[in-house]
Structure 1
Amino acid sequence: SISYNKGAAVLRMLSEFLTEPVFAQGLSSYLNTFAFKNTVYTDLWDHLQQAVDNTPGLDIPRSVSEIMNRWTLQMGFPVVTVDTRTGTVTQKHFLLDPDSVVGRPSQFNYTWFIPIKWMKNGVDQQQYWLLDKTDTHSSMRVSGEEWVLANTNVSGFFRVNYDLDNWGRLLSQLNTNHQVLSVINRAQIIDDAFSLARAKLINTTLALRTTTYLSRERDYIPWESALRNLDNYVLIFDRTEVYGALQAYLKKQIKPLFEHFRTLTANWTRVPTGHSDQYNQINALRIACGVGVEGCRELIKSWYRQWMENPDHNQIHPNLKSTVYCNAIAFGGVEEWDFAWRMFQTASLASEASRLRSAMACTKTPWLLNRYLEYTLDPTKIRKQDSISTIQYIARNVVGMPLAWNFVRARWSYIFEQYGQGSFSFTNLISGITMRFSTEFELQELKRFKEDNLHVGFGSATLALEQAIEKTTANIKWVNENKAEVFKWFIKETT
């Protein structure tokens, strides 16, 4: 995963600072030279360097290999901090856990040659290279209402932090006219802020403030960035008093998006033409129904009811099936669940069966969830290869989580015997069930589970269990440090 994701990101960055024609020229030369042969990574750098040398006017501060070796031969990536009061620019190795210790030394001392594309007040500036841990770039010093945004279009593989004044001006820009910033940079500001807060480089409430403009946002990528980050808050707080205020905040932010798609689709009778709009319609319905936006649940239930009345003619659009099935079952009862079970048993398409299997875990009725858990260990009802993921789906449900945890603990010997040998999904079982754990009591339960089953073993889930204990410990610490402040912020934003 790291090889593919990081590899793609650094190659995109390389293409950006070389320019695409030069990158394509070097890549073409490399592919033609080594067609049907083996290569090493330095061969690619050599051919790209030849393309640079053959391009008059293209100036990079170091050779391609010197620049890229720092990105490919070091773990992770940097966070760049821009202080707009002084023009000081610094870099350091970004660590999501500030208490973690990097055990592997780097020949480059975890410094990178960083190409920084940036803008000032919405106007693109000349690219700047950060070649040391600290430098001063006087053009980045601003005053008054001016703001700086680094890493435009997220062309570089690094996160960006700013002084508090510049953060404030960027957030002010988002709240007055967010379209001055590109869609991807709006998503970047949100994602960087939440990651920086988790790394304790900025305050948690500053990260939350990046989402206040979303009531005016209609594009998919910023919403997806926000929802992925806020999902962690939902998982941590959906069993606490914070959730009421969090839910009210999400309702306030998502309602305009829900109404936007109601209009765009002519009251849900048409499919949005844009691909990203189709994705964002799913977000709008999923969140709006989850937080109780007026009209959403009734809409979902009416679509599902029409299908129940005519099982051979499902008019629910394929894009929306997962969302509709889950919410209709969540807000329905045994009749809706049993209908889904019958459709699951007769489904001829694997994708449809998978959607229904996931959706049946959405019910809020405990006895239905317990019955479904029993089904997971019956191969005549749930295929053996689907058992572990089905338990995970149930654990994702706030009502199902404690039921799944009790179920797995009570039957660990059998589950381990049947599924623990060579199952790729088995490692996800513990992490899937314990992702909400954030109390001292849950930590002690986890440790007791480990002690009680040492004689049975954990197989491929051994590392996952240790990581679950570490993550629960980290969650407890995070809640203790942030809960009161986060609760206060959500209340302030919704009153």
Structure 2
Amino acid sequence: KANDASAEVNNWNSDFTLRIMQTIFRLDDFLEITLEPNITNVLQINQLYDSITHFKGSCLLRMLENSMPEILFENGTQNFLKQWKYATVSRNDFWNSINALAQDYLPPQTNISDIMETWSSQSGYPLITIIRNKTAGNLQVSQSKFQARNESDSSLWIVPLNYVIGNGDERKLWLTNRSITVANVSSDKWILFNVKRTGYYRVNYDIDSWNQLIEILTTNHEAIPLENRGQLINDAFKLAENSLISYEIPFNLTKYLHREERYIPWASVLDSLEFLRDALQSTYLNGAYEKYVKHLVSPLYDKMWNVTNGNQLLRKLTIETACSVNYEPCTNWAENLFNEWMKKNITVPSDLRKTIFCTAIRDGSEEEWNFLWNQIKSQKTNSDIEEVFISLGCTRDTWLINKYMRNAQSGTIPWQYVPYVWQSLGQPTSLAFGFQYLRENWNSIYEAYKDKPIILKAIIQDFLYKLGTKSDLEDLTILVKKHENDFQQLAPLVQGVVDRIKARVEWSGRHLQEVEEILLG
């Protein structure tokens, strides 16, 4: 078994589930991405035909590939490339090349074009629900659109499913209708669907099946595939967020983490907690949330913070998280390193620059901020420059945030780096001030950037997306209505943000007390 995290991310399948699939799920949740959008202007092409649609398309291809023997998909792809070399093609030409070899693995009277049409023409993705009937010894497997905004939504996909029962072999089946019954299922063994997270869907289970998964994670977590350990928690938090299960389930799933020493599950879990972090950071529960995360990561931090070989990606992730929730050993370490850099020009570890910079700026004064600002010109790569800009936004001093925003608007900061400024505003003080600044200066901001969609997109997708209160929703609604013509071409992104803020407001009304009881109980 490879214990080095680099071995995990060099495993294409594990890396894909984390860096691509989990990212696109999060975006698809509020944008409801379709691969066949209705394009009415050039700006929408820039919005929609970017990495988002490419990521979703790659997820669907990976799912299709895993529905059949790998060699068939590879041969079909090679046949397509040979047949259509130098020619203009459509996606149906590719489907037909795969279909010619894969008929024995498809549902009866169905071809790949029919299957993939259900995924490319519909927005969003399905939720697969598993209900075990122990008396009858079967499973009821059904599908519905996840987060359907319309209760009468009739979206239906042709879904390639895979699952294991206990430590048995992987099984496959197709879900072509609303539901299907799987017979001859043992009542005393745990069940896991979406093995290795190959399918583009989320999975919910009945409460007994969830509890069996919690038990196996607690007693023998390596019985669950690496990719699924984080996926179970990711799905569970998202399901709880949408009132489909109790928050007790995802919180109970995280209890196994004191045994987990692999990067992929940890990275997936911590990404899953971002919604809670954003929802709670401006509430009275922020301290309790930080205490909970400290409880999760502090044992791993104490074990790994000074490790110089081996699991470096997990070490980096652990330090980033520990410092972000103000774990004192981590913040003291980061601030001391920054001070030594500032006073003695001692080199900061390259893989932890952003964490060290942000921690020092967040807890520091004007002296630290000005020092880091003056380092911009000496940065050698774009990623180094990005780290500095992102870290400057970590300050909690409103006048420094104001200075930062004015530097961006005045042209002191080159326009190609302005998206980093908006992306950097994420903690309560900078969010509140940044939103106020945006409302007060929208005319000049839009005039400056109307021909630079990357900046407008960053403001909406990387900044406004983080808002989450009722007053935020009211102020954003007023802003959009007041400048209706400006926002018209940005409508899909703006609507996604509005829906996201509404969901957070509704979440607080439904779940704040439940989460409070868990965090404080």
With normalisation by structure 2, the TM-score equals 0.82
Change (3 A) 1:235 1:225: same
Alignment counterpart, residue 239 of structure 1, candidates 259, 275, 282: 282
Correspondence for 1:326: 358
Correspondence for 2:457: 427
Correspondence for 1:292: 326
Alignment counterpart, residue 400 of structure 2, candidates 335, 350, 368: 368
Distance across 2 between alignment mates of 1:22 and 1:464: 38
Query: Greater shift after overlay, 300-309 or 184-193?
Result: 300-309
Alignment counterpart, residue 143 of structure 2, candidates 72, 92, 98: 92
Distance across 1 between alignment mates of 2:419 and 2:55: 26
User: Is 1:110 the equivalent of 2:167?
Assistant: no
Distance across 1 between alignment mates of 2:208 and 2:338: 50
Alignment counterpart, residue 478 of structure 1, candidates 498, 502, 507: 507
How far the C-alpha of 1:201 sits from its partner, in A, is 2.5
Correspondence for 1:132: 177
How far the C-alpha of 1:61 sits from its partner, in A, is 3.5
Higher relative contact order (CA 8 A, sep 6+): 2
Distance across 2 between alignment mates of 1:15 and 1:384: 41
Q: For residue 374 of structure 2, give the secondary structure of its aligned residue in structure 1.
A: helix
Correspondence for 2:48: none
What letter corresponds to residue 399 of structure 1 in structure 2?
Answer: T
Correspondence for 1:120: 165
Q: For residue 410 of structure 2, give the secondary structure of its aligned residue in structure 1.
A: coil
Distance across 2 between alignment mates of 1:152 and 1:458: 42
User: Any gaps of 5 or more consecutive residues in structure 1?
Assistant: none
What letter corresponds to residue 510 of structure 2 in structure 1?
Answer: E
Moved over 6 A (4+): none
Contact 2:390 2:423 in 1 (8 A): no
Change (3 A) 1:477 1:383: same
Q: For residue 132 of structure 1, give the secondary structure of its aligned residue in structure 2.
A: coil
User: Is 1:33 the equivalent of 2:62?
Assistant: no
Q: Map 1:214-233 to 2 at 5 A.
A: 214-233=257-276
How far the C-alpha of 1:91 sits from its partner, in A, is 2.4
How far the C-alpha of 1:95 sits from its partner, in A, is 2.4
With normalisation by structure 1, the TM-score equals 0.86
- Offset from partner CA, 1:90-120 (integer Å, 9 cap, x none): 3223222454664xx7xxx6141x3332212
- Offset from partner CA, 1:11-50 (integer Å, 9 cap, x none): 2222223211222222222211222122333333333233
Contact 2:131 2:206 in 1 (8 A): yes
- Offset from partner CA, 1:230-280 (integer Å, 9 cap, x none): 111111111111111111110000112212323xxxx25x2x44xxx4332
Number of equivalenced pairs = 466
Distance across 2 between alignment mates of 1:124 and 1:374: 60
Correspondence for 1:80: 128
Change (3 A) 1:177 1:400: same
Distance across 1 between alignment mates of 2:495 and 2:56: 26
Change (3 A) 1:399 1:154: same
Q: For residue 184 of structure 2, give the secondary structure of its aligned residue in structure 1.
A: helix
Distance across 2 between alignment mates of 1:26 and 1:453: 51
Distance across 2 between alignment mates of 1:369 and 1:425: 18
User: Any gaps of 5 or more consecutive residues in structure 2?
Assistant: 1-50
Query: Greater shift after overlay, 438-447 or 322-331?
Result: 438-447
What letter corresponds to residue 34 of structure 1 in structure 2?
Answer: W
Query: Greater shift after overlay, 83-92 or 471-480?
Result: 83-92
User: Is 1:385 the equivalent of 2:416?
Assistant: yes
Distance across 2 between alignment mates of 1:130 and 1:470: 30
Q: For residue 66 of structure 2, give the secondary structure of its aligned residue in structure 1.
A: helix
- Offset from partner CA, 1:267-322 (integer Å, 9 cap, x none): 25x2x44xxx43322221111112232421121122222222343x52x2322111
User: Is 1:157 the equivalent of 2:203?
Assistant: no
Change (3 A) 1:409 1:48: closer
Q: For residue 301 of structure 1, give the secondary structure of its aligned residue in structure 2.
A: helix
Alignment counterpart, residue 72 of structure 2, candidates 19, 22, 37: 22
Contact 1:48 1:64 in 2 (8 A): no
Query: Greater shift after overlay, 429-438 or 238-247?
Result: 429-438
User: Is 1:8 the equivalent of 2:58?
Assistant: yes
Change (3 A) 1:285 1:21: same
Distance across 2 between alignment mates of 1:437 and 1:424: 20
Correspondence for 1:203: 246
Q: For residue 229 of structure 2, give the secondary structure of its aligned residue in structure 1.
A: helix
Query: Greater shift after overlay, 436-445 or 189-198?
Result: 436-445
Change (3 A) 1:201 1:334: same
